[in-house]
Chain A
Amino acid sequence: MSQDLTRLTAAQLADGMRAGEYTSTDVTRAHLDRIEATDDVIGSFISVTPDAALATAADVDRRRAAGEDLHPFAGVPVSLKDVVVTAGIRTTAGSKMLEDWVPPYDSTVYAKIKDAGLPVLGKTNMDEFAMGSTTEHSAFGPTRNPWDTTTVPGGSSGGAATSAAAYQAPLAVGTDTGGSVRQPAAFTGTVGVKPTYGSVSRYGIVAMASSLDQVGPLGRTVADAAALHQLLAGHDPRDSTSLSDAVPDFLAAVQAGARDGSLKGKRLGTIRQLSADDYDDGVRAAFTQALELAQQAGAEIVEVDMPSLRYALDAYYLIMPSEASSNLARYDGMRFGLRVEPESGPVTAETVMSATRAAGFGAEVKRRILLGTYALSAGYYDAYYGSAQKVRTLVQRDLAAAFEKADVLVSPTAPTTALPFGMESDDDPMALYLGDAATIPANLAGIPGMSLPAGLANGMPVGFQLLAPAREDARLYEVGSAIEALVTDAAGAPVWAGVPTDYAAESATTSA
């Protein structure tokens, strides 16, 4: 076979399999080979599951040959961030704490993927318990950005993003608590979506901050992200916070957006408080250029006000660790996962819990547990957690007002392109926390957001973020596919197609 199946999009693969040009086994094997050839350097995967993937592929091929009715994306392989609980396949959340944990049950996300017949290639690397924005905080080593293997892929869904960017998987499932899908998508030139809170079930997603966590799709194109979102979305009686609305037709939105003139009259709102000064020149230039393309295509650019934005980051860094401190309390060595006995003294439940947590959690996780425990303490609750919830309400109010004036809000996804390794310093964690300023409001307000490539800056991808009102995820896909087409036309090729495909091991040193 002359064609490299890993270079095709999920939509193309689905069409090709349906047309009988190749089988799911061909497609799956091609991606497993690509992982085999590249992952020593890239490090997208914590676990690769070739047997299970090929078994699913063979089953789909058999059913297709028998003329069975299949899901439109049946046979298209996918990677899962290692917070997605998979029965029989170890699920680590990037932590030593769960290094050997093989779950006895399936997340709803995994159950849906199995039902639809998508071969799962493996579980992708991430910052421990999704805490971080570089994937350096993984207990399983770093993930390298295929655009420049001396830089990080972003995080926490770094492995998910690189699996899509480096042609290891056409589709990837990530999670986004403060930007963990969108920021790595921006750093790797891929498309990442954080759906409306409740759009995708959280049942069986290892929790960091329950009120902020949301599963999100990644792919190289807006259409592929939409297809994966379509597959994952829907009410789940096992998740009380899951939306009961009917799932909108995201693929129809993509098609509507791809039509000429679809941007005419669309109001794109820039946020006054996310001023240009906060961005690197290259990022600003690429973003502005994409915005101008949209304007030329008929979009109206308006400026909106978000006075609460300056408090949003503070509120996020109170709510997120508070919820995390409670969600991570269950990792105590008593029932599952790592168990460490104290080096000296009596072995009691308390000393085992203490020794296990001391040994099993990394520095960033400990930092957030401490922050959250403090913020929830008697006497501090009102000042910290209570105030943060008020800010959250203000953010929601500001965004609601902004969406009166604009159909979508736009900004660069992150202030920089991918950073070199080792920038995340334990001495100054706030420096990197600040990089989340544009992505965090969507999580605080529960609204959907997307990052898609705006272009390149110094050869590295720049992310263009779109935000829409809650339950209006389809609007992201419509506007996103229009901008994607404009950017692709202007550059003569999709941004993602420019990614280097050969990775030299010697260039892949990290300072970590």
Chain B
Amino acid sequence: MKYEDAVAKYDPALGIEVHVELGTATKMFDDAPNTFGGGANENTTPTSLGLPGALPVVNRTAIEYAIRIGLALGCEIAESCRFARKNYFYPDLAKNFQTSQADEPIAYDGSIDVELEDGTIVPVAIERAHMEEDAGKNTHVGGASGRIHGADHSLVDYNRAGVPLVEIVTHPITGVGDRAPEVAAAYVRTLRDIFRAIGVSEARMEQGNVRADINVSLRADADAPLGTRTETKNVNSFRSIDRTVRYEIARQAEILDAGGSILQETRHFHETDGSTSSGRPKSDADDYRYFPEPDLVPVAPSRDWVEEIRAGLPELPAARRRRLLDEWGISELEMRDIINADLLDPVEATVVAGAKPDAARKWWMGEIARVAKQKDVEATELATPEHVAELQKLIDDGKLNDKLARKVLAGVVEGRGTPAQVMEADGLQIVEDTGALEAAVDEAIAANPDVVEKIKGGKMQAIGALMGPIMKATRGQADAGTAREMILERINS
């Protein structure tokens, strides 16, 4: 069934579980480094390998980050909570149990406002945020698809085993109708922005720092009880989240329409065609034999500590965005682009350093981003906000034009000093010596009689053909406006 028909006929409900890997220096329960990459099984200790006798110890920073997340999501913070063991056998799970929080999450009962692109605000109720450890990573070798079926053997890398995670679980999100896909993606994006703002994770979707499990169910109308749900696992881009919801709504509607019923199961999302496929049946009766982890003592964050963490939280993304939109007068779309490029911090700092918002945005999103991409580095490694503000001031003062400014920037990027220093050193300041410019203009006119004829004939755009030689002769330091005036003056006189 087409998506549009499906949402016209059925009322979708969403439930989203987001896992975020915390950016702590070490793992959740041991002192192995928590870093992405590295040789296989290098970032491990006896504890993250689950060796006999090894014991876990809770990472205090991970607790602090989990509390930050809880507070940023408006949650209550538990006075005392215990870890539990979730028992199941799987090779990527070194102990064959995952240390998690079952019925005692560190944070619960929160809510956040999710803003859609048109400015609509959708409140999402948060059931809980709990801590757990990540599993290792299996690689299936020898099969066609990289999946376990058909594989010849499998390799396990425990570098990720024991990486601290916080899982955030929503209450059912209802009443969003045909905007369900957009809401799902915007919700995860909102979380991603919060994680970054409060400094708990780099939250890089492409590295799997943030992963979402998307539950979708349909019901006849808003008064009916919730339908049977499916859970699509590990969807890790905003676009994929949108597509997952869209696909599941259409798929489920078709089954329901044909009189069928939805099988409660986990599903996999396929990037190639936007479809989902059946994983394994999942029932609420999955028996993980949870029991309190006897190797750990309860986590009991003092109220003083919680308040200290609350007081230290930075301005959250939504509030900051509203403030800056207001202050800068740029469009929602422009703001979104800046945020997506992860450049809000340097742009804001550049404005603080004296540049106009438009100019600050233009530099970071334009030339600096381009060079960063070319060099495959972070934009913020290339220049400081102070440099950019200074560069813009040189333009505003008429000392540089855009082209010269880019040359100056290149010097700054090379680490050759501040924009003013580079400009001085390279003699890039705009030529105000009209004698040199006049000579260049005369030379260009004399060398290009055919172009001059065209201009005389009214083809003003042909002036461009003279600008090249003029700029070349002046090493780019000519002011284009002045040169153009001179050309016209000479041709028309």
Contact = CB atoms under 8 A, between A and B. Distances in A.
Interface string A88-110: 00010100001001011101000
Nearest to B52: A206
Interface string A324-365: 011001111011100000000000011001000000000000
A381 interface: yes
A105 B46 contact: yes
Contacts of A323: 291, 294
Contacts of B156: 334
Contact of A329 (B89, B287, B297): B89
A237 B59 CA distance: 12
A427 B95 CA distance: 31
B62 to A, nearest CB: 14
Contacts of B58: 240
B87 A376 contact: yes
Interface in A408-442: none
Interface stretch (A41-49, A197-205, A251-259, A307-315): A197-205
Contact of A326 (B55, B57, B87): B87
Interface in B36-83: 46, 49-58
B437 to A, nearest CB: 74
B280 to A, nearest CB: 13
B94 interface: yes
Contact of A104 (B51, B90, B291): B51
Contacts of B294: 209-211, 241, 323
Interface in B149-172: 154, 156
Contacts of B95: 329-330
A344 B380 CA distance: 60
A284 B89 CA distance: 48
Contacts of A93: 52
Nearest to A378: B287
Nearest to A353: B89
B238 interface: no
A373 B289 CA distance: 7
B89 A238 contact: no
Nearest to A347: B153
Contacts of A373: 289
A393 to B, nearest CB: 14
B91 interface: yes
Interface in B287-332: 287, 289-291, 294-297
A205 B46 CA distance: 12
B299 to A, nearest CB: 10
A126 to B, nearest CB: 14
A296 interface: no
Interface centre among B54, B56, B95 (most CB of A within 10 A): B54
A239 interface: yes
A100 to B, nearest CB: 13
A202 B287 CA distance: 29
Interface centre among B54, B89, B154, B289 (most CB of A within 10 A): B289
A322 interface: yes
A326 B87 CA distance: 7
Interface in A46-88: 83, 85
Given A329-B87, A330-B50, A350-B89, A240 B289 contact: no
A377 interface: yes
A206 B55 CA distance: 10
Nearest to B287: A378
Contact of B89 (A210, A239, A332, A381): A332
A363 B52 CA distance: 20
Interface centre among A334, A336, A376 (most CB of B within 10 A): A334
Nearest to B31: A238
A105 B296 CA distance: 21
A207 interface: yes
B85 interface: yes
Interface centre among B49, B97, B154, B295 (most CB of A within 10 A): B295
B285 interface: yes
Interface string B355-397: 0000000000000000000000000000000000000000000
B287 A377 contact: yes
B96 interface: yes
A376 B84 CA distance: 12
A209 B295 CA distance: 10
A335 B50 contact: yes
B52 A85 contact: yes
Nearest to B56: A240
A1 to B, nearest CB: 39
Nearest to B85: A326
B91 A349 contact: yes
Interface in A373-424: 373, 376-378, 381, 385
A240 B91 CA distance: 26
Nearest to B46: A105
A238 B154 contact: no
A349 B154 contact: yes
Interface in B413-442: none
Contact of B96 (A103, A239, A241, A329): A329
A204 B54 CA distance: 5
Given A326-B289, A378-B287, A240 B55 contact: yes
A210 B289 contact: no
B291 A326 contact: yes
A487 B37 CA distance: 65
Nearest to B89: A353
Contacts of B57: 237-240
Interface string A118-145: 0000000000000000000000000000
A85 B95 CA distance: 17
A335 B49 CA distance: 8
A203 B57 CA distance: 10
Contacts of A336: 51-52
A103 B54 CA distance: 11
Given A329-B89, A350-B89, A376-B289, A101 B94 contact: no
A104 B46 contact: yes
Nearest to A206: B52
A103 B51 contact: yes
Contacts of A207: 52-53, 295
Contact of B55 (A239, A329, A377): A239
Contacts of B49: 335
A241 B55 CA distance: 10
A202 B55 contact: yes
Interface string B90-107: 110011110000000000
Interface centre among B56, B96, B97, B290 (most CB of A within 10 A): B96
A35 B285 CA distance: 55
Contacts of A107: 53
B53 A241 contact: no
B140 to A, nearest CB: 11
Contact of B52 (A91, A211, A334): A91
Nearest to B286: A378
Contacts of A241: 294-297
Interface string B111-124: 00000000000000
Contact of B291 (A202, A350, A376): A376
Contacts of B50: 330, 335
Given A329-B95, A376-B291, A238 B55 contact: yes
Contacts of A209: 294
Contact of B53 (A205, A329, A335, A350): A205
Contacts of A237: 57
Nearest to A92: B52
6 contacts: A101-B52, A104-B51, A241-B294, A376-B290, A376-B291, A377-B289
Interchain residue pairs A-B with the least CB separation, the first 7? A329-B96, A376-B289, A210-B294, A211-B294, A204-B53, A85-B53, A206-B52
Interface of B: 46, 49-58, 85, 87, 89-91, 94-97, 154, 156, 285, 287, 289-291, 294-297
Given A204-B53, A385-B291, 16 more contacts: A91-B52, A241-B294, A241-B295, A323-B291, A323-B294, A326-B97, A326-B289, A326-B291, A329-B89, A330-B52, A331-B52, A336-B52, A350-B89, A377-B287, A377-B289, A381-B290
